[in-house]
Structure 1
Amino acid sequence: MADPEKLFKVNVVTPDGLVYSHRSSIIDMRAVDGRREIMYNHAPILTPLAIADVKVKRSREMSNEVDHIAVNGGYIEFSNNVATIIADSAERARNIDVSRAEAAKERAEKNIKEARQKKDQQSLERAQVALRRAVNRINVYNTIK
């Protein structure tokens, strides 16, 4: 078990409010420029996040647990041993409605096809982002199976 003084606070916030709040020994995420890991006493950082899985390793009595959170972009700020992720949307793996995510994936694939046929670049880009978000949610959900 990690020493309590070696843990830091992790908060994930969306426009709907606080989605996640726990103490952690390490957080692993994908920034827009590559993978990042943050541990206790990490140097202050502010960086944009990619649409990806955020892994929060937390310790509880005699066991280590990793929470997976589907984050659809946003930012992470770390200072004074507090990591705050601000995202448009974020869901813990256990809260993801996978059938809804799969339906969103199918819709996005259909919209991509239609946008390509119409040569509508703006619609294509929106549909590609929707597809990445849906795939991210499905992948994060599958980590708990």
Structure 2
Amino acid sequence: MKDQIPGFLFIDHIAIAVPAGQLDAQVKAYELLGFREVHREEVLGTDQVREVMLRVGDSDNLIQLLEPLSSASPVQKLLEKNGGRGGFAHVAYRVRDAHVAFDALKEKGFRIIDAAPRPGSRGTTIFFVHPRSREDAPFGYLIEVVQAHEHE
């Protein structure tokens, strides 16, 4: 059904920016809350981050901690904007097909940061939607659109 495009399924993860050098301490703090590390990866290219995915309890809910690897990292720029403090970075929504979602959002006038869907961490395909994507109703936060490939 056309109204269901771009086909958002559920929240894939909530991302939290972590100042450089604090990732492991943050992971330990979340583990004290009962969260469990399920993935760790360095993502280079335009992202320039070290990420850790943490599972919340026995659920499918994930928290992503992002530590900048360089001054060029968008996460580093976010931290600088926040006075060096870590905090909320973005919400990621899962879709069945990132390319279909990308085309649908562009067609509907959303401002998309990436030129096209691209490889993300965990073998995903991703793209980002700008916080001020629409003049009539800016979201006010960065959106990541994620297609997982684990069942393909």
Structures share fold, TM-score greater than 0.5: no
TM-score normalised per structure 1: 0.28
Pick the structure with greater CA Rg: 1
TM-score normalised per structure 2: 0.28
* Higher normalized helix content (fraction of residues): 1
Q: Which has the higher contact order (CA 8 A, sep 6+)?
A: 2
